[in-house]
């Protein structure tokens, strides 16, 4: 199984500042034949189901604000939230879909400082 490890486990960022969350996979999730990284990012607000933010490691889902961006390749990925807003308080998860079992990171809890 591919193990997904996120860091930090929690972080607090001031409004308007940048938040950066890291995700590392135990195996590369880059498929060489199409040069796509099989990685997604989700936001889960309290009491809500997860919401897809990013797929293919860097493609923003329709309707997601452009302050959310994904980067990285192979086994190292980053979710960046530029200009943090109050509604961004949530837990963020990365997920690999390179192979089953699909696996998620343990989550990163983002709060306002």
**CB burial class (10 A; 0-12, 13-18, 19+) of residue 6?**
buried
Interface pick for another protein out of 52, 58, 74, 78 (rule CB under 8 A): 52
Q: What angle do CA 47, 45, 70 make, to 5 degrees?
A: 150
Tell me if residue 76 falls in helix, strand or coil.
Answer: strand
100 lies in the binding site for another protein (CB under 8 A): yes
- Check residue 42 for interaction with another protein (CB under 8 A): yes
Write down the residue that tokens 């919401």 correspond to: 51
User: How many residues at the interface with another protein, by CB under 8 A?
Assistant: 24
104 binds another protein (CB under 8 A): yes
Give the residues lining the site for another protein (CB under 8 A).
Answer: 36, 38, 40, 42, 44, 49-52, 55-56, 59, 61, 93, 95, 97, 100-107
């Amino acid at each position: 199984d591919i193990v997904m490890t996120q860091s930090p486990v929690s972080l607090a960022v001031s409004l308007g500042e940048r938040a950066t969350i890291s995700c590392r996979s135990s195996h590369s999730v880059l498929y060489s034949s199409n040069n796509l990284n099989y990685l997604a990012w989700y936001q889960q607000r309290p009491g809500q189901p997860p919401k897809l933010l990013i797929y293919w490691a860097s493609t923003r889902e329709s309707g997601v604000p452009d302050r959310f961006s994904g980067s990285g390749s192979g086994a190292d990925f980053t979710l960046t939230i530029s200009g943090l807003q109050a509604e961004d308080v949530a837990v963020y998860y990365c997920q690999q879909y390179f192979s089953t079992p699909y696996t998620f990171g343990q989550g990163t809890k983002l709060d306002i400082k």
